[in-house]
Homo-oligomer: A and B are copies of this chain.
């Protein structure tokens, strides 16, 4: 039986009944799909009980972004989770940010560039809410998707820097048969846009092959950007081959690298990334 709780006090009371069993956590913004379920499955490998939080965090959206449109589907989310989660934590915005709330956590290092160039507010919003969610539940482990790869690295840096006694585990991206990474935002796509969207992952795979065969990482990025425009993307924010651990710029494939991309199909912004 999954318990649904809406305040930190209820969450802690529910957890107190479960501990000292090992607790896992999967922070989400809801609109759950199989990718989220795979994160919960991963968490269950490392923990006795899993807390899934569902909170569409206003502070990680800019005023012009899709905070209002973001899908909120709690009933379907609870069905999707079935019995996989022991506790679902669905705080209100007021519970997370009470009157007079005035604290911001900024994480440097891997937050530089990429998403930050296009969503400068994003990682401070993510770091602050993730710190609060982790402090609320104090789990032993927490699982985040590699789909949001830069976010995963920022969360790891946050937890290491604050010394939170929590192991952060990254879990692989789930994809549709045509390669499109599962994302709650895929629901925004029209049928035509859905076809264009599928090319993103194929183009990343081509770019990886080009980077490996030619060793010219900048040319591989440029070719991929052109391919996205040709495939019908409305805007390409970035395609970048970076160090897989630090996200530093790299000029050669000497250490583990990662290719990361963000591009818009119509008005929908998609991100994807793959190991090189």
Interface residues of A, Cβ cutoff 8 Å to B:
8, 12, 98, 100-109, 127, 131-132, 135-136, 157-158, 160-165
**Chain B residues near A98 (CB-CB < 8 A):** 160
Name the distance in Å between A252's Cβ and chain B's nearest Cβ.
Answer: 22
Which of B132, B135, B161 lies in contact with A103, CB distance below 8 A? B161
Name the distance in Å between A103's Cβ and chain B's nearest Cβ.
Answer: 4
Q: Is the CB of A157 within 8 A of B109?
A: no
**Chain B residues near A102 (CB-CB < 8 A):** 107-109, 157, 161
Q: Lowest 4 CB-CB distances: which A-B pairs, in order?
A: A102-B108, A103-B161, A102-B109, A103-B107
Q: Which residue of B lies closest to A12 (CB)?
A: B165
Could you write out 12 A-B pairs with CB less than 8 Å apart? A8-B163, A12-B165, A102-B107, A102-B157, A103-B108, A103-B157, A103-B158, A105-B105, A106-B106, A132-B162, A135-B163, A136-B163
Q: Is the CB of B104 within 8 A of A106?
A: yes
Name the distance in Å between A274's Cβ and chain B's nearest Cβ.
Answer: 25
User: With A and B bound together, what is the CA distance between A127 and B101 in angstroms?
Assistant: 15
User: With A and B bound together, what is the CA distance between A107 and B102 in angstroms?
Assistant: 6
User: With A and B bound together, what is the CA distance between A98 and B132 in angstroms?
Assistant: 22
**Chain B residues near A100 (CB-CB < 8 A):** 109, 157
Name the distance in Å between A118's Cβ and chain B's nearest Cβ.
Answer: 20
User: With A and B bound together, what is the CA distance between A160 and B103 in angstroms?
Assistant: 9
